[in-house]
Amino acid sequence: MPTHAIILAGGRGERFWPLSRRDRPKQLLPLFDGRSLLQRTADRIAGWIRPDRVWVVAGAEVMPEIRRQVPFLLESRCLVEPAARNTAAAIGAAAVAVSAVEAQAVLLVLPSDHWIPDPELFREDVERAAGAAQGLGGLHLFGIAADRPETGYGYIERGAEVPGWPGTHRVVRFHEKPDPERAIEYATRPEMLWNSGIFVWRASAILDAMRLAVPGMAPLLSELRAAVNQDAERARPQTQEALARFFVRSPSESIDTAVLEKHAETYVAPARFRWSDLGTWVAWGEHLPAGADGMRCRGSVVADESRDCIAYSEGGLLALLGVRDLIVVRMGDVTLVCDRNRAQDVRRLVRWVARQGDLEEYL
């Protein structure tokens, strides 16, 4: 039951702008102790998954930096997306590529930008889920106990534990991102878990599920498989070309809505490891020590009579006077000043800036 890891590193981290920029997305930034989230993701699995079983999917523009940051990655395990196509296509392509090497493989699908400080617990949880994915079949995902009324995530309603598979529960239902009122209710119900975006399944299981659930996907997957098989022993020029064709023609959908929510046999494992997707500046701020006035600052920041702000400055001084509940980030030639409750909307702001045309240089 060899486990292969698929690291999804194609994200742009728009909600982390202006720290994350197009050529330096969030997962490649040295946010903690000089190592990036991608490096910490690779560190987390390096002790127990062989290098030739670690795969990464990302765009061509960031692949050189990814390989610089994670030197053990093999070139043949780096799958280039010519255009961002969300998680369904990336996972489908990786499942085909892994299958060609190891037909019985179990896949651990990992976002590259999550914070998980308990590598041992993580490994135990993954190994248990991999056992269930192998023995029980189906699609497995990790759920996170909600510790606040979060409106930014989808929720999974956990059902009964599966007899003989401790820690593996049936999924009763997937729930969309709730409104604030409903989020408060969910936070009081222990069966409501956040969808972590970390998945475990057999390569064959996800490919079968994808063929069933995503219209038009079956021929694309078959065509990719044929090219990859032909290419298996050679210098893989066809694989990269076939990958490019596959991504361009694939629908841009998330694996959650395109496959998981439609699939009959999904399971959720409540994570015992701590987890944060560091999805916004507020989530990041929670990992900084807070001053007595609730200020969480990093870099060259001076603050006078200010409270409950998250402030980050690189390459210049940030001076705050008499302000509260702000996110202030100064990075290179951009300064963001944002209400603390609007952290989710930074992505929208970035997309708006992109539409202005003459502000491209700041993205």
Q: Assess 313 for contact with a second copy (CB under 8 A).
A: yes
Contacts of 270 (CB under 8 A, 6+ apart): 142, 143, 144, 145, 158, 167, 169, 193
Site membership for a second copy, residue 18 (CB under 8 A): yes
135 binds a second copy (CB under 8 A): no
Task: Give the nearest distance from C-beta 299 to a second copy in angstroms.
Answer: 11
Exposure string of 97-124, with b = 16+ CB inside 10 Å and e = fewer, is bbbbbeeebbbbbbbbbbbbeebeebbe
Closer by beta carbon to a second copy, 168 or else 306: 306
Whole-angstrom Cα distance, residue 284 to residue 232? 42
310 binds a second copy (CB under 8 A): no
Q: Which is nearer to a second copy, 15 or 169 (CB)?
A: 15
Residue 60 in contact with a second copy, rule: CB under 8 A: no
Within a 13 Å sphere around the CA of 179, how many CA atoms are in the beta-carbon half? 1
Supply the minimum distance, in Å, between the C-beta of residue 19 and a second copy: 13
| Contact between 54 and 73 (Cβ < 8 Å) | yes
258 alpha carbon, distance to own chain's centre: 16
Find the shortest distance in angstroms from Cβ 333 to a second copy.
4
By CB under 8 A, is residue 326 in contact with a second copy?
Answer: yes
Q: DSSP code of 136?
A: T
Measure the CA–CA gap between 108 and 185, rounded to whole angstroms: 31
Q: Which is nearer to a second copy, 40 or 296 (CB)?
A: 296
Asked whether position 307 contacts a second copy by CB under 8 A, the answer is no
**Residue 219 main-chain phi, psi, to 5 deg:** -65, -35
Question: From the CB of residue 146, how many other CB atoms can be counted at a distance below 10 Å?
Answer: 18
Contact 298, 201 (CB under 8 A): no
Q: Is 320 in the site for a second copy (CB under 8 A)?
A: yes
**316 near a second copy, judged by CB under 8 A:** yes
Binding piece for a second copy, criterion CB under 8 A, among 30-38, 161-169, 272-280, 309-317: 309-317
Q: Does 297 engage in binding with a second copy (CB under 8 A)?
A: no
Interface with a second copy includes 351 (CB under 8 A)? no
Give the binding range for a second copy (CB under 8 A) out of 7-15, 27-35, 173-181, 312-320: 312-320
282 sits near a second copy (criterion: CB under 8 A): no
Which of 11, 98, 103 shows the shortest CA–CA distance to 49? Answer: 98
Of the two residues 264 and 292, which places its CB atom closer to a second copy in the complex? 292
CB of 286 to a second copy, least distance (A): 20
Interface residue with a second copy among 121, 145, 323, 354 (CB under 8 A) is 323
Alpha helix positions (H), 85-236: 86-101, 119-135, 180-187, 203-213, 217-231
- Binding residue count for a second copy, defined by CB under 8 A: 37
Closest CA to 205 of 128, 259, 144: 259
Give the torsion through C-alpha atoms of 70, 221, 212, 89, to 10 deg. Answer: 40
- Coil, strand or helix at 307: strand
353 binds a second copy (CB under 8 A): yes
Closest CA to 315 of 19, 5, 9, 14: 19
Of residues 35 and 340, the one with the C-beta less far from a second copy: 340
Comparing CB distances to a second copy, the nearer of 104 and 341 is: 341
Q: Is 111 in the site for a second copy (CB under 8 A)?
A: no
By CB under 8 A, residue 172 contacts a second copy: no
Q: Does 23 bind a second copy (CB under 8 A)?
A: no
Is 360 an interacting residue with respect to a second copy (CB under 8 A)?
no
Residue numbers of the site for a second copy (CB under 8 A)?
A: 18, 300, 302, 304-305, 313, 315-323, 326, 328, 330, 332-339, 341-342, 345-346, 348-349, 352-353, 356, 359, 362
